[in-house]
Amino acid sequence: MDYNYLKINSEGAINILTISAPKSLNALNTAVLSEINQYLNTIDFGTTRALIITGDGEKAFVAGADISEMATLNQAAGEVFGRRGADVFRRIEQLPIPVIAAVNGYALGGGCELAMACDIRICSTNAKFGQPEVGLGIIPGFSGTYRLAKLVGMGMAKQLIYTGAPIRSDEALRIGLVNAVYDQTDLLPAAITMAQQMAANAPIAIQLAKECINNEYDLAADEAIAYETVRFGQCFATEDQKNGMSAFINKQKVEFQGK
């Protein structure tokens, strides 16, 4: 499939989605969001074991939702635009494979929100994160108020959202918004190495672990623990579990089939 705003590459079982709208620092407008949505429909989960999302160029991951598109929206259209982004990001969050954001520059507004919909964020030293929306007269609209508070706690989320002030990569690392910081040239290789490490493990187990971590968070303790126990049991219905454990016992290497 041909895209105007996306570049798709793969490294073995790893897909790399690069958002590429260089004139606007990879800002997300309706067309870009709809291409991401289309791309998500094409992923073959039988062969793809992890996804990396990054931005084109050395300056920006994604500089936000497209301000020129939003400038003339009325209330109803604003809600539709917000829902469009929120739905695409929720799909990313719920993909049955790990998703790593390789944040290679500005991750502002919708860019920070896109990174937060991914399972894991790593970034380059020049990356800047922020939710500058209130300086434009709006609030984060692609689920940033929800996910930022979850990731860094309410106090820090409120500081970032009320001030709109961007933070650098070292501060993003300190508050736990990213897991690691790399030189720009080392960022994508590091993301690929991490993705390959994940891809070598049992895919159904990873999918179930992701479901548990994502869905247990908002549950009460007893419900969350029961939710995990059921999925732990489900692992024993897979060939991967049989093969993984028998390989361990027989001191062999295992290649998981995702069955």
CA atoms within 13 A on the CB side of 244: 17
Residue that is written with structure tokens 């027989």 in the block: 250
Q: What is the CA radius of gyration of the chain?
A: 19
Return the active site residues.
Answer: 113, 133
- Residue 142 makes contact with ligand CAA by CB under 6 A: yes
> How many residues lie near ligand CAA (CB under 6 A)?
23
**Any residues with CB less than 8 A from the CB of 168 and at least 6 apart, and which?**
127, 128
Residue 17 contacts residue 53 (beta carbons within 8 Å): yes
Q: Token pair of 215, please?
A: 């869905």
- Residue 127 makes contact with ligand CAA by CB under 6 A: no
Taking CA atoms, 82 is separated from 87, 111, 142, 143, in Å, by 9, 13, 6, 8
Closest approach, Cβ 163 to ligand CAA, in A, equals: 13
Of 5 and 256, which has the nearer Cβ to ligand CAA?
5
Range list of β-strands (E), the chain: 6-11, 14-19, 50-55, 60-62, 99-103, 106-108, 120-124, 128-130, 167-168, 180-182
Q: In what order do the strands lie in the sheet with 106-108?
A: 60-62, 106-108, 128-130, 167-168
Closest approach, Cβ 59 to ligand CAA, in A, equals: 7
Closest approach, Cβ 27 to ligand CAA, in A, equals: 4
- Residue 203 makes contact with ligand CAA by CB under 6 A: no
Of 68 and 185, which has the nearer Cβ to ligand CAA?
68
Of 23 and 251, which has the nearer Cβ to ligand CAA?
23
- Residue 190 makes contact with ligand CAA by CB under 6 A: no
- Residue 72 makes contact with ligand CAA by CB under 6 A: no
Distance separating alpha carbons of residues 90 and 18, to the nearest angstrom = 18
Candidate ranges 20-28, 154-162, 216-224, 236-244; the one touching ligand CAA (CB under 6 A): 20-28
- Residue 5 makes contact with ligand CAA by CB under 6 A: no
Closest approach, Cβ 29 to ligand CAA, in A, equals: 8
Binding region for ligand CAA (CB under 6 A): 24-25, 27, 63-68, 85, 106, 108-110, 113, 132-133, 136, 138, 140-142, 144
